[in-house]
């Protein structure tokens, strides 16, 4: 038996169960966000969010956007390895693939597309709201790496939630969505960038986790199979 034995009976057949609420909200976001993308004209979503700024937003969103940064994500993932029951090679593999695969895909698309960021697209127009201390980025806008990173990371955390804490998946989704909002508020990305980034992060994470399925214990599965055969 592995350290995942206590989760085996309820989770190995349904490895995505812990992220039920995250996935439901993601489906709603996928549909509603897709319609909004189809209706958007002249970067309307970005312009609206960036122009609806406030001193509170200027203080809050630079902190929120850190959730999607590699240093924060890597630190949090390494801390998960301190949990005894999560110290298995399959968990470590899932942890790495679920978060690394969307990152690599995003970076590849960025390099191929090399889309301009808002500051370059609008030639640093005076109406753009800039928050002091934020980097002046001009290239590689599509898709958003912070959006991809936050959705992959928080989706992964949701997948690990025990049944009685599944509702926290909704909280994790809202946190991921707040990172998406922050990227437009801080004038780092357009709506299409963050929308596609969120899809890349979530789908790569879900597919990777389902394939690896760290809740599956081969020894436990074989023992269960032998017990069923003996009972027949």
Rounded (5°) CA angle 216-226-229? 125
User: Taking all residues of the chain, what is their mean pLDDT, rounded to a whole number?
Assistant: 90
Domain limits of the chain?
13-216
Q: Is the pLDDT of residue 94 over 80?
A: yes
Confidence of residue 128 (pLDDT cuts 50, 70, 90): very high
Confidence of residue 124 (pLDDT cuts 50, 70, 90): very high
Residue matched to tokens 């909704």:
170
Domain 13-216: assigned CATH number: 1.20.144
Confidence of residue 86 (pLDDT cuts 50, 70, 90): confident
Q: Distance (Å, rounded) from C-alpha 25 to C-alpha 167?
A: 11
Confidence of residue 210 (pLDDT cuts 50, 70, 90): very high
pLDDT, tens digit (0-9, with 9 covering 90-100), for 149-180: 999 999 999 999 988 899 999 999 999 999 99
Q: What is the mean pLDDT of residues 35-64?
A: 97
pLDDT, tens digit (0-9, with 9 covering 90-100), for 181-202: 999 999 999 999 999 999 999 9
Q: Is the pLDDT of residue 100 over 70?
A: yes
Report which secondary-structure segment, H or E, holds 224.
Answer: helix 218-231
Rounded (5°) CA angle 143-149-153? 150
Rounded (5°) CA angle 106-107-112? 100
Confidence of residue 3 (pLDDT cuts 50, 70, 90): very low
Q: Is the pLDDT of residue 221 over 70?
A: no
Q: What's the whole-model pTM score? A: 0.90
Q: Which of 5-14, 38-47, 52-61, 105-114 has the lowest mean pLDDT?
A: 5-14
In total, the chain counts a number of residues equal to 232
């Amino acid at each position: 038996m592995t350290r995942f034995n206590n989760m085996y009976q309820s989770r190995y057949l349904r490895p995505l169960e812990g992220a039920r609420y995250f996935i439901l909200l993601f489906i709603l976001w996928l549909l509603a966000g897709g319609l909004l993308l189809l209706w958007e004209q002249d970067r309307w979503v970005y312009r609206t969010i960036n122009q609806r700024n406030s001193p509170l937003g200027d203080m809050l969103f630079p902190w929120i956007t850190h959730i999607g940064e590699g240093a924060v994500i890597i630190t949090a993932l390494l801390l998960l390895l301190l949990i005894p029951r999560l110290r298995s090679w399959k968990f470590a593999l899932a942890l790495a693939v679920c978060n690394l695969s969307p990152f690599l895909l995003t970076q590849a698309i960025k390099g191929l597309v090399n889309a301009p960021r808002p500051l370059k697209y609008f030639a640093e127009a005076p109406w753009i709201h800039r928050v002091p201390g934020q980097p002046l980025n001009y290239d590689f806008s599509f898709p958003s790496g912070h959006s991809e990173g936050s959705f992959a990371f928080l989706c992964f955390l949701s997948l690990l939630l025990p049944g009685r804490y599944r509702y926290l998946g909704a909280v994790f989704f809202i946190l991921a969505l707040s990172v998406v909002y922050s990227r437009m508020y801080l004038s780092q990305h357009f709506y299409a960038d963050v929308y596609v980034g969120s899809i890349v992060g979530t789908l790569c994470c879900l597919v990777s986790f389902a394939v690896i399925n760290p809740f599956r214990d081969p020894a436990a599965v074989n023992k269960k199979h032998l017990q069923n055969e003996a009972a027949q």
